[in-house]
Amino acid sequence: MPNPSRLAFFLLGTTLALGFFLGSDRIAKAVAHRRAQPELTVRGVATQAAKADTGTLTYQLSWRGESYAAGRAQLERRRDELVAKLRQAGIPEADILPRAQGFQRFLPAPAGTKPEHMGGFARGAAPDFAISQAILVRTGQVDVLAKLALEPVEFVDDVILSRGAPAYRIAQLDEARRELLEAATKDARRRADVLVAGSGSRVGALLEANQGMFEVTSPENPGDDFDTTAINKVVRVVVSLRFEIVRE
């Protein structure tokens, strides 16, 4: 007479094996069906005109001479005049950021110093000093900044005032990115509908979505996504969507 416990284990094992076989068969058929189901991958593109909301411009004040006290007084007077001019032009005081002053002391060159090495020594027989200070302007007043960047640079006393090139950027891009992603997704769906039109099929479920290129360029340099010279920008986003194609 068979052992009841062994018979029960045998029946349980048989049931599990059968269930595994049937389940595997269904999964295999589903995978095979999915593989047999045609798919379509399309790209969607969206662009939007935008304007820089932040601009930066750097001024550099420098002086060199034998009287450290006189040079520092001249440089600081010119710095205060520059700050006042920027404020009068419409730049908020909080957007004008003076940097720490830099100092150097140069001793007279030893006898026999070669001309190509004289740059590291005083220009005369007495020690001299070099003082410098940068003024960074970072502001949302980009139109004012653009006008300032075109004004001539003045030289007063022994203080040299130089100015770098302005840089314009878009700091707030979240809203534009969201809108462009929506537009690019709709564009990709329209392209998919056009491609399958008249084929006896229709676009089915979305299987995969990926964001591709996101770039900010200028109308003058559309291929340069690092261009900071223009206030007006073009924001562009590309998405890639993979759809299931359903036969009707």
- Identify the residue with better confidence: 28 or 181: 181
pLDDT score of 8 more than 90: no
Q: Which pLDDT value is given to residue 173?
A: 85
Mean pLDDT of 26-50: 73
3-class SS string, 98-154: ECCCEEEEECCCCCCCCHHHHHHCCCCCCCEEEEEEEEEEEECCHHHHHHHCCCCCC
pLDDT tier at 162, thresholds 50, 70, 90: very high
List of domains in the chain? 36-51+172-247 (3.30.110.170), 54-169 (3.30.70)
70 Rama sector, left if φ>0, alpha if ψ -120 to 50, beta otherwise: alpha
Mean pLDDT of 13-17: 54
pLDDT score of 172 more than 60: yes
**Rounded percentage of the chain residues whose pLDDT exceeds 90:** 62
Tokens at 57, concatenated: 């411009």
Mean pLDDT of 72-81: 94
